[in-house]
Amino acid sequence: MRYCIPFSLSIFSIVSVAVVFHLPIATVAFATTQPHYSSKLQQHQHHVKYNTKRFAIADEEKEKETVETENPMSTNDEIERRTWNPLRLMVLKLGFTELKFTSPLNYEKRDGLYNCAYCDLDLFDSDGKYEPNSGWPSFWRSTKDGHVTYKKEWDGRLEAKCGRCDSHLGHVFLDGPLPSKVEKDLLENAPASDPRGIRTNGYLPRFCMNGASLNFQKSDEKK
């Protein structure tokens, strides 16, 4: 069976992905012709273009009632403006990993929230951010129970996903800071859903996130 590159997938997107991930253009073009990736891209493009109605009635549907109530879904236009970047879409919807030390959020020191770049759900805050020198924005705790969900991958890694829109964020490793290295009150208020090691005094989790999957919101801009 022959496959052709979908008409809706621009040459610009293919070239952008090839440049960002240092891949031959022919390799990226071939990957997009495969049924899995082609359908993923087409589904996302259809979602962004035609899914206004879903976001307009999100509060009525209450698919995830608690999260939806605390953080209303952004409008379709806002999502489209935030996610037009090919790299961001490849990370959020296809599970790609950005190159280390390339995200400005890796060097962000200001107080504020780190929200999902797709649906704007608050995922992490500056109190939980720390520097393990991994090359990606890293946190030892999330903001609230259920705002980050987890999925075991085939290679044993634990994938972190947005609790509302199911977008790929990065991975979680149990090699974060020791409990004695973080503020006691912050540790006591850490969400119970955050992964923890077997040992009581073992390492806290290290949320190793793609900067492309997050939007930073300064404290004075918090809703």
Q: Quick one: DSSP state of residue 194? A: S
Q: Which domains does the chain have, with CATH numbers?
A: 11-94 (no CATH), 104-221 (2.170.150.20)
- Number of neighbours of residue 27 by Cβ within 10 angstroms: 13
Residue 219: predicted pLDDT:
87
| Range list of H helices, 74-190 | 76-82, 86-94, 184-188
Strand locations in 81-131 (E): 112-116, 122-125, 129-130
**Tens of pLDDT, residue by residue, the chain (223 residues):** 444 444 444 566 666 666 655 566 665 565 555 544 444 445 544 444 444 444 444 444 544 555 554 555 556 666 665 657 889 999 999 999 999 999 999 999 999 999 999 999 999 999 999 999 999 999 999 999 999 999 999 999 999 999 999 999 999 999 999 999 999 999 999 999 999 866 556 789 999 999 999 999 998 865 5
Smallest CA-to-CA distance from 86 within 169, 3, 166, 18 is with 18
The position carrying tokens 């259920």 is 146
CA–CA dist 130, 213 (Å, integer): 18
Strand locations in 126-179 (E): 129-130, 138-139, 148-152, 158-162, 168-173
Please count the CA atoms within 13 angstroms of the CA of 78 that sit on its side-chain side: 12
Q: Quick one: DSSP state of residue 204? A: P
> Does the annotation mark 208 as catalytic?
yes
Residue 9: predicted pLDDT:
46
Active-site residue (options: 116, 119, 165, 208): 208
Burial letters 193-207, b for 16+ CB under 10 A, else e = ebbbeeeeeebbbbb
Residue 220: predicted pLDDT:
80
Residue 196: predicted pLDDT:
81
